[in-house]
Amino acid sequence: MANTQEKLKDHLRETRIFSSRVIVAGVGVVILILILLLRMSYLQIASHEHFTTLSQNNRVSIVPVPPTRGLIFDRNGEVLAQNLPSFSLELVPEKIDDVDATIEDIKEIIKVSDNDIAQFNKAQKRKRAFQSLPLRFRLNEEEVARFSVRQHQFPGVEIKARLMREYPHGSLAVHALGYVGRINEAELKVLDVADYNGTTHIGKTGVERYYEELLHGDVGYRKIESNARGRVLRVLEEERPKPGHNIFLNLDINVQKTAEEALQGLRGAVVAIDVKTGGVVALASMPGFDPNPFVNGIDSRSYRMLANSQDRPLFNRAIKGRYPPGSTMKPFVGLAGLEYDEVHGGSEVSCIGWYQLKNDEHKYRDWKKTGHGFVTLHEAIQESCDVYYYDLSLRLGIDRIYEFNKHFGFGAVSGIDILGETSGLLPSREWKRAAKHEAWYPGETLITGIGQGFNVMSPIQLAVGTATLANYGLHLGPKLVYATQESGKGTLEYLPLNILGIVPIVKKENWDYMVSSMKSVVHSLRGTARGIGKGVKYTIAGKTGTAQVFGIAQEEEYDQENLEDHLRDHALFIAYAPIEDPELAVAVIVENGESGGSVAAPIARVVMDAYILGKKRG
Amino acid sequence: MARSALSQGFENQQQTGTQGFFQSIHIDWPLMTGILVLVASGLIVLYSASGEDWNIMTRQMIWLFIALTVMVLTAQIPPHHLEFWAPWVFGIGLMFLVMVLLFGDVGKGAQRWLNLGLFKFQPSEMMKFAVPMMVAWYMASRPLPPSLKRIFIALLIILIPVGLIAKQPDLGTSILVGSAGLFVLLFTGISWFFVGGFLVLLAAIAPVIWFFYMHDYQRQRVLTFLHPENDPLGSGYHIIQSKIAIGSGGLYGKGWLNGTQSQLDFLPERSTDFIFAVFAEEFGLVGVIGLLAIYLYIIFRGLVIAVQAQSSFGRLLAGSLVLTFMVYIIVNIGMVSGLLPVVGVPLPLVSYGGTSLVTLMVAFGILMSIHTHRKLLTS
């Protein structure tokens, strides 16, 4: 049939066409497979290293392990700052879809304050999204249990056990110890980011800040393998962190406690120094505050209360307070008079209650209106006669007063191991010319000699000056810390004595004379601090001071009652004991305490009792 | 290796007696060997990719058994029966597709499944062989090469099911079904001028498809393909992690069960669509060359079967099925290695999952049927 024949012809043609198409297809297949192979070679050979790195980064991550902070002990080994395990609730923002909503949900299980959220948000801005950030610290056991039950509802939220700084003595010695707090933005800029990787807290004030580097230790690392969900599968490598050094203070917590209790309800400061070493045995500034809430960020209301309080509890009076020394300056000026040979033990001055310069109408008054009569230097110290000192100051002149007192550390920072202390002010001709562009007037010499005028000192400076006097001129720098200890090692590393200078002695008798005069302040019937001499089991050399407060700030004018309170004189007292073998030098200042002898001196007495008698008992 | 097996196939047709048993149960042994080697390699990779999950392994082996059984059964059907039933199979498939759109089950944002009570059924899968069967039937009924009018009708036959599948939406399957139909046309000997014109037309309507017919997630996939680094933790994650897996494998690979990308869960869909990345990570470029060689062997054996087919229908259908198998490979490896956008196409006979396994085995069954019934026709 024609039809079949046609089909047969077609069949041959079709086969031919089909076969050629199959060849084309075969070539096409080979080309496409070759393209795939080329792509594979590019990925697996040419870019192999690149992808190997990415694959490593995928699975291996380096996690910092923060070091344990060093402990702080007092001189008897009592713990002042420690690390306690504490549970905190931490979030990894990267793993949470909606952080705000999650926090809202957490709020229903665990109390989270607005302050916690604010702190968290602040931290979130500067940390990377995969880092774990604390939302709440110090969860109690009930909270831990309540959250753990619902853990599965909160991916990316975890309860972590951390070591938290704790100050077992609360507010005691807060101005010496200071405290740690969460690292803030400004600190982040200056500190070594690598070393603080993983560390959340840093020393903010006091010893905690000054010895931050030692206390912090060195960060460790853990190389971990994790899966896509961030679950840690195993630790590949570990470099353990090096814990911070332990620190031992000269501070005696019992003496400190005595000092703070004695200052209870007052505004003031006590600094007690170990005469032989310069070690700071007590450093009290009252009122104080509890540092523990500061560790995890104090809430703003409590902080405002502390910051705005008229009693200024946050202010470290012991090193930052600037007080006119008043009559506590007299032993130093008197000693200058003796050493410069302007006066001697027998020189007498007639005190009629006031003093006048030649060609000057102004009467420089004595605190005792009726005057002291004829007084020697000994009596001028014992009874604190101002007229004698007006006369002496004039003889010495401001230059020699300045020169001599400088040796005791006045007018310069003491170098105590806390930051932020004031240098006070020991006025001189040069200072006045530079600061006030004025010449020095003789009248200013007179009031400088009795510790008024431009003169200001901090309690630490007064204490160091007193210790230097007790040491017969050996000027030792005050130190809160006496030794450090590398963690895990038993041996203590002692800090060397810090000899700042030696007051040149002309005649040792002059110093003996001044010491005996100061002794009579306490131990004679006419001494201004005779009240504390009663029943004392050792000898005390002391000097009272009552400093006038001036320079009323304009804003204080409104509050009549407070204004009057703040106008009252400051009460001061410096002393050391025992005289024969000096152990402790003390400086006490009670703001607006009015009487050095009856307000400040008893505080020094209990502090010395606590130290000297306590030491004998111990 | 591929060569000797191929020539063995050629010898097969002369030596009637030696492999009489396989002839009588209609198994093409050279093709069967390639399939079994591939399936075995697939199981080895799946064991690693599934995280040594024997549950998954057992299910895959059951599916393999079912699929191989279906293949052997399909191979028993003489090609002229297939030709006879082609319009019916196509018609029923088309009807199922419409039903899916009307009452199908929704999964992963797409409507692909038809719940038949006893089991769920994906009609788009059967279109992978139903469409080339239909086009081959239509084309074989008249002398070739076809007239323009017949080409146009054939295009309609292809486009209707492809459109329905794309609407589900299932881009991967519609590409496979579409190319299966078009390959038939290619083998009919239509002029290259026409093929070129068609490709130009496709490029021209691509923007129209982009704006009017693509779903957001499909557009997202294409955008992600172009710029995976824009969204490394979102939709670009698949491509980035898969490239890391392949690249870090290197020349010799990290070793079986030692691929960190896959074992530590960084690689998504690692048992199914992205199983090639697991393979490349653990066996390296050397392994990849081996795998591609097996695929190449199967394809060329398929092309030999197509060339030796005696009817127009058998030739066209066999050629189309073989090239569609190749499209699976190119699209899957292309997307896993970042050459092509991510479309849901499994790595044939290796990826976990029963549906595609059964469909592919039906296609191989058809190939075997075409080849093994040839003798009966001539003698």
Name the strands in the sheet holding A268-274, side by side, starting at the edge strand that comes first in the sequence: A280-286, A268-274, A584-590, A570-577, A541-547
Domain co-membership, A24 together with A146: no
pLDDT tens per residue, range B182-212: 999 999 988 888 888 888 888 888 777 777 7
Rounded to whole angstroms, the Cα distance separating A244 from B94 reads: 77
Residues counted in chain A: 618
Residue B16: pLDDT above 70?
Answer: no
Domain limits at A243? Answer: 62-249
Domain co-membership, A128 together with A183: yes
B292 near A CB under 8 A: yes
pLDDT tens per residue, range B311-350: 889 999 999 999 999 999 999 999 999 888 888 889 999 9
Cβ-Cβ contacts under 8 Å, B186 against chain A: 21, 25
CB contact under 8 A, B143 and A40: no
Q: Could you write out the DSSP letters of every residue in B185-224?
A: HHHTT--HHHHHHHHHHHHHHHHHIIIII--HHHHHHHHH
Q: Is residue A394 part of a domain?
A: yes
**Which residue's structure tokens are 């002393």?**
A575
Domain co-membership, A460 together with A581: yes
User: What is the number of other CB atoms lying within 10 angstroms of the CB of residue B78?
Assistant: 16
Q: Is residue A607 part of a domain?
A: yes
Rounded to whole angstroms, the Cα distance separating A295 from A467 reads: 35
Predicted TM-score (pTM) of this structure: 0.65
Residue B370: the pLDDT is: 93
Rounded to whole angstroms, the Cα distance separating A405 from A424 reads: 13
Q: Is residue A301 part of a domain?
A: no
Rounded to whole angstroms, the Cα distance separating A89 from A139 reads: 8
Question: A45 to chain B: nearest residue by CA?
Answer: B250
Structural domain ending residue among the three candidates A199, A233, A249: A249
CATH of the domain at A224: 3.90.1310.10
The β-bridge relationship of strands A232-239 and A493-494 is unpaired
**Which residue's structure tokens are 């901090």?**
A458
Q: Which two tokens stand for residue B207?
A: 């923007």
Q: Is residue A298 part of a domain?
A: no
Give the distance from residue B315's alpha carbon to the nearest chain A alpha carbon, in angstroms.
8
A512-517: long-range pairs with CB below 8 Å, 24+ = A513/A338, A513/A345, A513/A377, A513/A378, A514/A331, A514/A334, A514/A335, A514/A338, A514/A381, A514/A469, A515/A469, A515/A541, A515/A579, A516/A378, A517/A331, A517/A334, A517/A377, A517/A378, A517/A381, A517/A382
CB contact under 8 A, A44 and B285: yes
Catalytic residues of A, which ones?
327
pLDDT tens per residue, range A481-520: 999 998 877 788 898 888 898 998 888 999 999 999 999 9
CB contact under 8 A, A36 and B251: no
Q: Is residue A34 part of a domain?
A: yes
Rounded to whole angstroms, the Cα distance separating A80 from A177 reads: 8
The β-bridge relationship of strands A246-249 and A72-73 is parallel
Domain co-membership, A384 together with A507: yes
Q: Where are the beta strands (DSSP E) in A548-591?
A: 570-577, 584-590
Q: Where are the alpha helices (DSSP H) in A196-284?
A: 206-210, 212-216, 253-262
Rounded to whole angstroms, the Cα distance separating A156 from A124 reads: 14
Domain co-membership, A68 together with A138: yes
Q: Is residue A309 part of a domain?
A: no
CB contact under 8 A, A48 and B247: yes
**Which residue's structure tokens are 């963690």?**
A487
Structural domain ending residue among the three candidates A200, A226, A249: A249
| Mean pLDDT computed over B160-189 | 89
CB contact under 8 A, B251 and A48: yes
In contact, A349 and A417? CB cutoff 8 Å? no
Q: Where are the alpha helices (DSSP H) in A165-299?
A: 174-177, 185-190, 206-210, 212-216, 253-262, 292-295
Domain co-membership, A261 together with A242: no
Residue A57: pLDDT above 50?
Answer: yes
How much is the ipTM here? 0.89
For A326, what's the count of Cα atoms within 13 Å in the CB-facing half-sphere?
30
How many domains in chain A?
Answer: 3
Smallest Cβ–Cβ distance between B303 and the set A17, A22, A229 belongs to A22
Give the distance from residue A11's alpha carbon to the nearest chain B alpha carbon, in angstroms.
8
Q: Is residue A308 part of a domain?
A: no
What residue type is assigned to position B287 of the chain? G
Cβ-Cβ contacts under 8 Å, A37 against chain B: 288-289, 292
Domain co-membership, A137 together with A262: no
For A113, what's the count of Cα atoms within 13 Å in the CB-facing half-sphere?
13
Domain co-membership, A93 together with A213: yes
In contact, B173 and B165? CB cutoff 8 Å? yes
Domain co-membership, A242 together with A275: no
Domain co-membership, A231 together with A276: no
Q: Which two tokens stand for residue A196?
A: 């603080």
| Mean pLDDT computed over A97-111 | 85
Q: Is residue A570 part of a domain?
A: yes
| Mean pLDDT computed over A434-454 | 89
Residue A222: pLDDT above 90?
Answer: no
Domain co-membership, A188 together with A277: no
CATH of the domain at A403: 3.40.710.10
Domain co-membership, A203 together with A278: no
Structure-model confidence comparison of residues B115 and A161, the more confident one: A161
The β-bridge relationship of strands A584-590 and A268-274 is antiparallel
- Name B44's bridge partners: none
